[in-house]
Amino acid sequence: MWQTSRFAADQAMATLKDEAENELRLSAAGLEGHLSRHDYLPQMIASREDIERFLDTPEIGDSMDINLLLDSFRHTTDVSDVYLLDRQGITIAASNWHRDDTFIGQNYDFRPYFQDAISGRPGRFYGLGIRSMDRGYYFSAPVRLDDGDRTPDGVIVVKVPLDQLEASWAEQSADLLVTDNDNIIFMASQPELRLSALYPLSDDMHETLLETRRYADEPLPPSGMEIFDSHTDNSLLVRFSHGPLSDQDYLRLSRPLPDFDWQMHILKSLDPVHNAQWQSALLAGGLYGMVILGSGFGWQRLRLRREREQFAERERQTLARARDELERHVEDRTRDLLESNQRLSDEIDERRRAEANLRQAQDELIQAAKLAVLGQLAAGINHELNQPIAAIRAYAENARAFLERGRTEMATANLDQIVELTARMADISAQLKQFSRKSGEQLTEVSVPACFDYALRLFQARISDANVEVVHDPPDEGSWVRADPVRLEQVLVNLIGNALQAMADNSTPRLMLGIHHHGNEVHISVVDNGPGIDPASLARIFEPFFTTKAPGNGLGLGLSISSRIIEDLGGRLEAGNASEGGAHFLIVLPRAMPPRQTSPEPQTQETTRHE
């Protein structure tokens, strides 16, 4: 019984160690990733021109603009606080300027992150906030007003909160601790263990920690952890003398976090090991008891042959029934598992087919919407083609007459006009061919002004006939987004087409197209001066088959498809009414860097024309 229980305990302990090692590795990777993703932020903010300009002449600059700028960075990056220190370590701007515990006016020259950054290198620090009393991890970067080697003129500091990450630890089946090189529990899945010492601190160490102000004036009491066994693989068996974990024994594994000079620990309850040990001991005891009982029966069989044979027969029958019952249960369980696997496989195949059908239906619906737009443009395209055709016929007849009269120069001039008109017709045909093509699956860098120019060329005839004033003022620098050019062009064509239709009864129609940069996003706007959108219809404007047009003028799918396209591109489509009247549609897409080599638009059109 003792050997069996020891073997079962060793096996359960090995399994528990493997589970703890895997959970510890994943948790450590998650902690490092959560903190490291903000490493770039201080340097990026410090390089902004408005930060440098304010730091150069703070008495002239408006600190409220900088406060709002820092607050926008805080909100966008989901950090706790962002603040700016001058050369003396005094906070002159902060994202929490409006709170009672604002950092503005506080001196943080004693903080290591300030000392590192003012020395010209990035800084890192973790500790308890002096004002907010909230734990956090700090990243800092120097702010220089020139490229010299002199002392930086200020420091940008970003504080990353830790509460959200700790909250995710509570969902695990183990308890997690993070300690610094002084064995202070800085983070823990159990709130009662936070800001306590892993082991009791000496008086000198306690005084040293109070002087550093890393943990403010917290008493840092001992956690109550006691080690009662250790293994060669650096795993420990521990228990707690008090606190929320005092009712169990635990396996403790540790993993270093060298980038932060921390240690991460995981505590797994030893209850599974104890249960396995007791169950094995009881099972072995029962087995050995059966052996002893069998020996007794054997001794009885030596004395009473008849009774021995009867007993043996009964035992054989019992074992046979048990074996048959066990085999039947195994067979039934195997059959159930095979049926479950088959059902699961069928469900997976059905889901894949449904997703493929849905994707095909979406692509066909988008292509149908494009062809519907082409149908709406048919009248204008017919007008655009009829004029060159009539002119070609007239120039051809004139050229034949000039050739009969021997006036070759005049005939050549008429033929040149015919060539120019055919090139114009080829451009129109190329635009229609480009719009009607199917989109690809891969996203690439797309020029927003080029997409606007393409969409306006499709509506050139309608815009000219309706005397629509087009206000289009693209930014000086290129505006590129990460998207599919065909799908983005389709959305712009849908929005511009709706705007032109909405202004059909307006005597002075005006179409305003805008491109604006907002951080890592590009805002693309299409605004008209039509009657606008009924407020009651705004909530349903992107629903399929919802339309405010007269029957026969639309199916109500254009805006629904456009919204779905923008969401697939990683952005969003918003609708509203402009302050001066008319509808206002806004496309928000992720901003992208321009490609290193791009083919100019005229060259692409020329290639299409020759094809």
């007993």: which residue's tokens?
Answer: 311
Report which of 106, 111, 124, 120 is spatially closest to residue 154, judged by C-alpha positions.
Answer: 120
Q: Residue 205 has what pLDDT?
A: 81
The answer to whether 358 touches 351, Cβ cutoff 8 Å, is no
In this predicted model, what pLDDT tens digit does every residue of 16-32 receive, in sequence order? Answer: 888 888 888 888 888 88
pLDDT for 441? 62
List the one residue out of 509, 487, 490 whose CA is nearest residue 373: 490
In tens, the pLDDT along 149-171 reads 678 889 999 999 888 788 888 77
Confidence at residue 487, expressed as pLDDT on a 0 to 100 scale = 86
Residue from 338, 356, 331, 590 nearest 483 by CA: 590
d(CA 93, CA 240): 45
89: tokens are 């370590």
Give the tens place of pLDDT for each residue, 308-349: 888 888 888 999 988 888 988 898 888 888 888 888 888 898
- Per-residue tokens: 394: 């007239």
Say how far residue 513 (Cα) sits from the centre of its chain: 29
The answer to whether 485 and 595 have CB atoms below 8 angstroms apart is no
Q: Which of 533, 530, 467, 534 is nearest to 503 (CA)?
A: 530
CB atoms within 10 A of CB 190: 19
Proportion of the chain above pLDDT 90, given as a percent: 16
The mean-pLDDT minimum among 274-288, 448-462, 595-609 falls in: 595-609
Q: Which of 260-269, 276-285, 515-524 has the lowest mean pLDDT?
A: 276-285
Q: Which range has the worst mean pLDDT, 25-34, 368-377, 440-449? A: 368-377
Q: Each residue of 519-551: b (16+ CB within 10 Å) or e? A: eeebbbbbbbbbebbeeeeeeebbeeeebeeee
Cβ–Cβ < 8 Å for 361, 564: no
CB contact burial 243-275 (16+ within 10 A = b; e otherwise): bebeeebbbbbebeeeebebbbbbbbbbeebee
Domain positions in the chain are 2-15+167-273, 41-161, 441-610
More confident residue, 211 or 60: 211
**Residue 485 one-letter amino acid:** P
Q: What is the mean pLDDT of the chain?
A: 81
Task: Return the pLDDT at 551.
Answer: 56
CATH architecture under which domain 441-610 falls: 2-Layer Sandwich (3.30)
Under CATH, which architecture does the 41-161 domain have?
2-Layer Sandwich (3.30)
What's residue 410's pLDDT? Answer: 82
Model pLDDT for residues 216-248, shown as the tens digit of each residue:
777 888 888 888 888 877 788 888 888 888 888
pLDDT of residue 395: 67
Q: Which among 373, 367, 365 is positioned nearest to 439, based on CA atoms?
A: 367
pLDDT of residue 398: 77
Q: What is the pLDDT of residue 145?
A: 83
CA atoms within 13 A on the CB side of 460: 14
Read out DSSP for 303-353? H-HHHHHHHHHHHHHHHHHHHHHHHHHHHHHHHHHHHHHHHHHHHHHHHHH
pLDDT category at 118 given cuts 50, 70, 90 is: very high
Residue 432 has a pLDDT of: 55
**For 538-566, what is each residue's pLDDT tens digit?**
888 888 766 776 655 555 677 888 888 89
Confidence of residue 90 (pLDDT cuts 50, 70, 90): very high
Mean pLDDT of 98-116: 89
Residues 581-601: tens digit of each pLDDT: 899 999 999 999 888 754 444
Higher pLDDT, 54 or 548: 54
pLDDT higher than 90, residue 82? yes
pLDDT value, residue 526? 94
> Do the domains at 2-15+167-273 and 41-161 have one common CATH topology?
yes
State both tokens at 265.
């620990």
If one compares 357 and 532, the residue with the highest pLDDT of the two is 532
- Each residue of 55-65: pLDDT tens digit? 887 765 578 88
pLDDT of residue 607: 31
Higher-confidence residue of 603 and 380: namely 380
Q: Which of 117, 72, 78, 77 is nearest to 97 (CA)?
A: 72
Specify the pLDDT at position 608: 33
For the whole model, what pTM was predicted?
0.44
pLDDT score recorded for residue 148: 66
Provide the pLDDT for residue 605.
Answer: 37
In this prediction, residues 348-374 reach a mean pLDDT of 69
Question: Cα(435)–Cα(457) distance, rounded to whole angstroms?
Answer: 11
Domain spanning 2-15+167-273, CATH architecture:
2-Layer Sandwich (3.30)
Q: What are phi and psi of 495, to 5 degrees?
A: -65, -45
Q: Which residues contact 220 (CB under 8 A, 6 or more apart)?
A: 184, 195, 196, 197, 201, 206, 209
Residue 535 has pLDDT above 80, yes or no: yes
